[in-house]
Chain A
Amino acid sequence: EPEVTQTPSHQVTQMGQEVILRCVPISNHLYFYWYRQILGQKVEFLVSFYNNEISEKSEIFDDQFSVERPDGSNFTLKIRSTKLEDSAMYFCASSAYKGESYEQYFGPGTRLTVT
């Protein structure tokens, strides 16, 4: 069964460094999402992406964040200058169609630790 994959599974970085989290969505999906989950807290929406542009973003997704689909398979989240509070699990998700009736499939997540 097709699944969303994410790399790395765990990333440790120093405050102020740039990180890139990578995702490979399900191959025929067109809509892509990033979420984060701070330890012990709920999952929070960051950004949605379709047709090579951001569809929607949350207040969390400030100028330090950017997303890109550099080729036909990868979907990346870049954090330009990491802060301690960026430490969290980051989940990528994809869906075949736009609209809230359609299933989003989540990847296993990348645990980001900022020291």
Chain B
Amino acid sequence: KNQVEQSPQSLIILEGKNCTLQCNYTVSPFSNLRWYKQDTGRGPVSLTIMTFSENTKSNGRYTATLDADTKQSSLHITASQLSDSASYICVVSAISPLVFGKGTRLSVIA
């Protein structure tokens, strides 16, 4: 069964610190992997999309990595800001449709 597992479930960090969120998937066949940011009560907003051949992709302070062999991805957030507080969702694409992880709830505190 196609599944996406994320860890940790929640995370609290101090403003200015870095953090890394993890994603493991068992989706086959694999097409691409996406990271979304979802603010409370809002729709997901795309941060990165990576295909099978891409190992890393950056979007400002967000850097995603992908290891297609081990079926793992990470999202690294550098120099966190209060506005980074949100859920970060790993989404894997098979042929279709998208398979969502449950997300990591990140809280950045001053």
A residues within 8 Å of B by Cβ?
4, 33, 41-45, 48, 56, 58, 89, 91, 93, 100-101, 103-109, 111
Q: Of all chain B residues, which has the CB nearest A57?
A: B97
Q: Is the CB of B43 within 8 A of A111?
A: no
CA distance A109 to B41 in the complex (A): 8
User: What's the nearest-Cβ distance from chain A to residue B94, in Å?
Assistant: 8
Candidates A45, A56, A103, A108; contact of B43 at CB < 8 Å? A108
User: What's the nearest-Cβ distance from chain B to residue A25, in Å?
Assistant: 12
Known interface pairs A42-B102, A91-B43; A103-B96 also in contact (CB < 8 Å): no
A-B contacts at CB below 8 angstroms, number: 51
Contact partners of B51 in chain A: CB under 8 A: 101
Q: Of all chain A residues, which has the CB nearest B46?
A: A103
Q: Of all chain A residues, which has the CB nearest B31?
A: A100
CA distance A56 to B100 in the complex (A): 17
Given A101-B51, A103-B46, 13 extra CB contacts under 8 A: A4-B43, A42-B100, A43-B91, A56-B96, A56-B97, A100-B94, A100-B95, A100-B96, A101-B49, A106-B43, A108-B41, A108-B43, A109-B42
Q: Of B51, B89, B94, B100, which is in contact with the most chain A CB atoms at under 10 Å from its CB?
A: B100
Known interface pairs A42-B103, A48-B97; A101-B42 also in contact (CB < 8 Å): no
Q: Is the CB of B95 within 8 A of A106?
A: no
Q: Of all chain A residues, which has the CB nearest B99?
A: A45
CA distance A29 to B51 in the complex (A): 22
Contact partners of A100 in chain B: CB under 8 A: 31-32, 93-96, 98
| Pairs A–B under 8 Å by Cβ, sample size 8 | A43-B89, A43-B91, A48-B97, A91-B44, A93-B43, A104-B46, A106-B44, A111-B41
Nearest first, the 9 A-B pairs at minimum CB distance are: A106-B43, A100-B93, A45-B97, A100-B31, A43-B100, A42-B102, A42-B100, A106-B44, A91-B43
